[in-house]
Amino acid sequence: MRIALAALALTATALPAQTPDPTAFATPADVQALVEQIAHAMKPGQIFAMKPLVRGGASVASVEVWKGPGRPAVHPTDAEYAMVVAGAGTLVSGGSLVDARVANPGLIEGSRIEGGTARPLKPGDIIMIPPGVPHWFGVEGGELALLGIKLPQPENPDLRRSRLPFKGFAQMNGSMNGCCRRHSKVIHGESRISLSCPAGGC
């Protein structure tokens, strides 16, 4: 009996200490509750609001509620993954961003997208927008809710090339690096900027 107790004590001592499970988890009911909470808190005339749903280290999946169309945008270094969780709308992506300007280091906005592809959105639809791709969300029926996360992309030569056109957008008359120095053109008095470098490289 003493031998058995001693063995049990040794086994218990040898087991590694249990650490808290860092996994974040949310149910569909949690998602819908957060959608309703965000929508209820929005002020008259407010078209966009978001709140985090789950976190994992530096990564955050957030619920976004749109009550009107936002500005066309580009995320230079982040891919954007999203799932439609409520409402309906339209995604326009690809093409070229017109009148681009730097809103913050991770966001470039424009007045509209030319040459993009339009897709209707409904609950359950999945979206993956690569970094550097112009996109815009339209809203139908008064509300569109997304569960989304930004995915930073690893450094590689192709990604560095895709970022070149964004440098200097805050100074629209300034120069850009290398062959991406001048990819803007003026049509009917409007500055139109392509968000890709020449296919042949610099």
15-34 mean pLDDT: 87
Six-digit token string for 118: 């339009």
In the predicted structure, residue 186 carries a pLDDT above the cut 70: no
In the predicted structure, residue 23 carries a pLDDT above the cut 70: yes
Between residues 120 and 15, which one has the greater pLDDT? 120
In the predicted structure, residue 182 carries a pLDDT above the cut 80: no
**pTM for this prediction:** 0.69
In the predicted structure, residue 170 carries a pLDDT above the cut 80: no
Six-digit token string for 202: 């610099």
In the predicted structure, residue 197 carries a pLDDT above the cut 50: no
What's the pLDDT at 21? 86
The letter for the amino acid at 139 is: V
137-158 mean pLDDT: 85
Domain 28-154: which CATH number of 3.30.540.10, 2.60.120.370, 2.40.100.10, 2.60.40.730: 2.60.120.370
The letter for the amino acid at 118 is: A
The Cα-based distances of 66 to 12, 100, 124 in angstroms read 53, 22, 16
- Dihedral angle computed from the Cα positions of residues 37, 42, 47 and 53, in that order, rounded to the nearest 10 degrees: -30
What's the pLDDT at 58? 84
Six-digit token string for 73: 């945008």
**Which of 72-76, 98-102, 157-161 is predicted with the least confidence, judged by mean pLDDT?**
157-161
Q: What are phi and psi of 199, to 5 degrees?
A: -60, -30
Yes or no: say if 52 and 31 are a contact pair by the CB < 8 Å rule: no
What are the sequence ranges of the domains in the chain? 28-154
In the predicted structure, residue 61 carries a pLDDT above the cut 70: yes
Between residues 13 and 75, which one has the greater pLDDT? 75
In the predicted structure, residue 153 carries a pLDDT above the cut 50: yes
What's the pLDDT at 68? 95
What's the pLDDT at 48? 96
84-101 mean pLDDT: 95
What's the pLDDT at 13? 56
